[in-house]
Chain A
Amino acid sequence: MTASSPYHALFARILNVNPETQKLQDICRSLLERDFEGLSELKSLAFKSLEQGREKTPLPLDIATERKGEHETDDITIGNMSNLIEFPRILKKEFMMPDEIFDQKLLKKELLVHKKQFREKRQSWEKLFEQQCALTETKQWARQKTYILLDVSASTGQRHRLLLEKAIAIGYLQSNLKERGEVYFRAFNHSTGSLHLCQSPSDYRDLINKVIMQAEPIGQTNLQKAIETAFDDLNHHPSEHPAEILILSDGLSALDLESLFSSPPPSKIHVVLVGGDQPQLNDRDLREHFNSLHKSQISSYREIEDPKRRELLLSQLDERFRDRKEQLRSDIINDLKSQLKELCVRTQGTFIHVPDLPQELGADREQAAQIEQRIEEISQALQNPQTTVLDKEQLMDELLALRAYLRELSYQVDTNNLDLKKNFEELIERTGELTLDSQELQAMLEHLELSCRWKSNGSSEVSIPLSQWIKLTYRAIKQSLKRRSNPPKA
């Protein structure tokens, strides 16, 4: 069942539908409705499909797939007879066989006959290679090589930054059909996470659902190490086609560009700076920067022989430092940003600075309208007899997620906006009608299994039906209460 919302279509690969998934779509929409410098580049980089309103284009029919062509010709060829009717077309030399053998072969239809029928296409090797080597759209997609570095440091937990990064990452992958090529992914904070390499649809599905969507914010930021690791990974998996790296980060940190570019970079690098956490700069950092700007002046002052004059000039310099602390802080931040921009410029990539979203996004009418539309679509789909059981299960999951999300949104509604609050409450009620009265949901719960996993020196896992688990837990609680009320006599 296709959804009318383009955001829903863009994030359709996220299978685990929960309130966070809904929020992801809303955050994406909030961002793209704001006006900021870099908006058009962001849309071009990661949200093309929203602009063009296109769904995935079907694969073109490549010449290489039209291999088993046959064509009718006027040529006469020789083959085994397929029917006794072809008797008049038997080759003359077959009649030279001894009668017994001839008869046997005739019965088995193994005699050779002239044929005026379809025959396989014959082509020269040059022609075949010309077809096979031709560049097609499918090959172009297959040759894409994409690397995503996702910052999951603790600061990305603020202001929905991590969700924004996830939305941009998934939008970038989906809009550019990156799944048809190779996708590399690492999350990073002060260290780099494991490398996930996707070369098949199932790998890609796992990347979106089990890796990107499950990422949680923790730790600090070491962008230099993350980029070096990405370069190493790409060097270990080189191909004829250059890769594109997409870096999503909220932190400004110093980069050693000369070290990174000591050998030719393997790829085009795009950087999306989300929010832009300012680095923690202490006096020592500012002093170092100030000294580097006035290096020659400081060394010439130190060479002055007269100690009084030397002290006077150095103290004037100190005073200038104290006066310019804020300016220095701003200079350092601009330098760090320039480094990131330089990273992109040198590799012909794009640098985009996305502003922070407000901590409380609030709820608005458009959200309510979109959710209402989605609820109706789900309701129709559930009533449609052609909807399969698995699809119904998925729709139920989405409905429950929408219900939880609606509750969250209703708390965010401005208390003065009673109409909007009422609207959300009606929507919550509607989801209640669809879920709590639903026989499908009851059947799902009955068959739901709860998995318990524990580790000894390996891993062991037990799965039991949820209903069984509820019964066992209820029984255990009942027995525990009974023991408490009737303690054993001494």
Chain B
Amino acid sequence: MQIPSDIRLHPDFDKDCLALLKSGDLEQPESLVHKLQLENETFYDQVDHNSVVARLNGMVGAMGRILVNRSELTRQGLRALLTAEHQFIFSAAGVAKSLYASQMFAFFKNASTFSIQFCPDTTPDDLFGAYDIEKFKKGEIHHNVEGSIITHPFAFLDEFMDGNDKLLRSLLGVLLERRFSAGNQVESAILHTAIATSNYMRMSETTEALLDRFLYKAFISPAKDMYTLLRIDQVYNNNSGSVSAPAEEQLIDVREIVAMRRIIRGRHPKIQVHCPIEINYLKNMVAAAFESEMRKYRQDYYLSPRTISKSNDCMKANALLDGRMKVNEKDVENLYYLFCTINEPLDEHRTLISQDLYKRVFRSRIQYFHAILNELRPLLNTFEFMCQAQKDRSLLQKPFEELAEHRPDNQWLPHIVESLLNTFKTREEIQISNQKSSFLKLIEPCGEKNHELAEFKKKVIELIEIVYRPLS
């Protein structure tokens, strides 16, 4: 039977259940599967996210005792783990890339890591499992995926660029969609996060496409100053460059990190991280400005809409790690973990690194943002309410007081209405109502002196027209 991928995360799966399911001796294997799924769901709902955050933050210090000058890399790795994305690390040889990856994954219990070192003759069988001979004899091509990258939540892909293009192309689907398909065989991968490393760059269309799958990238520049070298000596003398087993209380269950991902993606029934619309606007402004500034150093630098959308997850991860359930400006400032290749030098003197440029762009944009916020807020509040009304036209018929009450089907609507009412209150001359004319009067003075806001206002007006158009 097809084993659902999520039950593989259950701690009893590997030692007890897998053998039972494979043996075919169970009368009703579906009931075992159902039981494991139910237990997982109960676990996710009961996860104490504050405790997980505390342990994740503790990892930075713990990693710092084993690896020198890797705190930024570790923080980036935490964001990759929280958002279920992948991290790619590149540098010259001998900077403890492999130790970093192994040590990161050592903090997770009930989770094994799939490790592979690529070489030119690495085949898809090495990644996805060998052909099942018995099925093959019957004419069916089927990989035996047990023990492969598909059945592990974590993967360490060493010397990534050594793999040949065909192999790397087959990995694309697993990395992005968590889906392996080969002929008739389609398997869901439980891969949560992969860390890939490389000592050199190999240019091809495939490697470019693959690098795009790794949202979090970092370059490690070997430090040769006396202080750092001495610290490295000390650390090496303590643990000889091998992975150090973390204390029991520091360990994180792999299901806990999956639960955190569900919170970030808005799939937890009770806990959600809220991102106000002003912060989204700021984030988009900063992203556009950063892309524009980066093009002065990297002609073909491109921030895809996918990356900008995924930055919503990164912002929420930033907020959670800071102990908040609401995203604020600081989380936009920390988006450099996503938008930048950490420590990548940009200018001809190698004095300007990517994250420094991002921070400067952020500081300038946030000043401008604060300068226009009063003019922008009515537009954003109106836009947000209109988006809700477009999905549910009945909102236009109900008074704001009713909409401001808690609703189980839309827990953010009261926040949106509250923000809108606060904005209306700053304009005493406008009658507070959800009539079209009230909204138009509210946004009328916006964009008079600012071309960017004037263009945004035009689009909001078009949206208002669409929402208030009578349904045919």
Contacts and interface: CB of A to CB of B under 8 A. Distances in A.
Contacts, number: 124
Interface stretch (B200-208, B269-277, B407-415): B200-208
Contacts of B400: none
B121 A78 contact: yes
Interface of B: 90-92, 120-121, 123, 131, 133, 136-137, 141, 161, 164, 166, 199-205, 207, 219, 289, 292-293, 295-300, 344-348, 350, 352, 357, 360, 364-365, 367-368, 371, 436-437, 440, 449-452, 454, 461, 464-465
A386 interface: no
Given A142-B296, A237-B368, 10 more contacts: A62-B299, A69-B203, A122-B200, A125-B200, A196-B451, A236-B364, A236-B368, A236-B371, A240-B347, A240-B357
A259 interface: no
A266 to B, nearest CB: 11
A235 interface: yes
Given A98-B133, A101-B131, A238-B364, A135 B296 contact: no
B440 A79 contact: no
A203 B436 CA distance: 32
A434 to B, nearest CB: 40
A134 interface: yes
A453 to B, nearest CB: 13
A24 B464 CA distance: 43
Interface string A68-87: 11000000011110000000
Contacts of A121: 202-203
A474 interface: no
Contact of B293 (A67, A123, A235, A239): A239
26 contacts: A64-B300, A65-B299, A67-B203, A79-B164, A80-B166, A98-B133, A98-B136, A100-B133, A101-B136, A104-B141, A120-B202, A120-B204, A121-B202, A124-B92, A125-B92, A128-B201, A133-B346, A142-B295, A194-B454, A195-B452, A197-B451, A197-B452, A239-B296, A240-B296, A457-B436, A458-B440
Contacts of B347: 133, 135, 240
A305 interface: no
A110 B350 CA distance: 44
Interface residues of A, number: 53
Interface string A115-140: 00000111111101100111100110
Nearest to B436: A457
Contact of A235 (B131, B292, B367, B465): B367
A398 B161 CA distance: 57
A77 B120 contact: yes
Interface string A222-240: 0000000000100111111
B97 to A, nearest CB: 12
A182 interface: yes
A91 interface: yes
A112 interface: yes
A80 B201 contact: no
Q: Binding site of B, secondary structure by majority: helix, strand, loop or mixed?
A: mixed
> Of A62, A65, A125, which is in contact with the most chain B CB atoms at under 10 Å from its CB?
A125
Contacts of A100: 133, 136-137
A241 interface: yes
A235 to B, nearest CB: 7
B201 A240 contact: no
A236 B298 contact: no
Contacts of B207: 120
A458 B465 contact: yes
Given A100-B137, A125-B91, A139 B202 contact: no
A68 B295 CA distance: 19
A194 B364 contact: no
B456 to A, nearest CB: 13
Contact of A129 (B131, B289, B350, B451): B350
B21 to A, nearest CB: 26
A123 B367 CA distance: 41
Given A125-B90, A196-B451, A237 B289 contact: yes
Contacts of A123: 200-201, 203
B133 A237 contact: no
A92 B318 CA distance: 51
Contacts of B465: 458
A303 to B, nearest CB: 50
Contact of A135 (B137, B204, B348, B436): B348
A143 interface: yes
B164 A78 contact: yes
A448 to B, nearest CB: 26
B296 A120 contact: no
Contact of A182 (B91, B292, B300, B452): B292
A65 B464 CA distance: 45
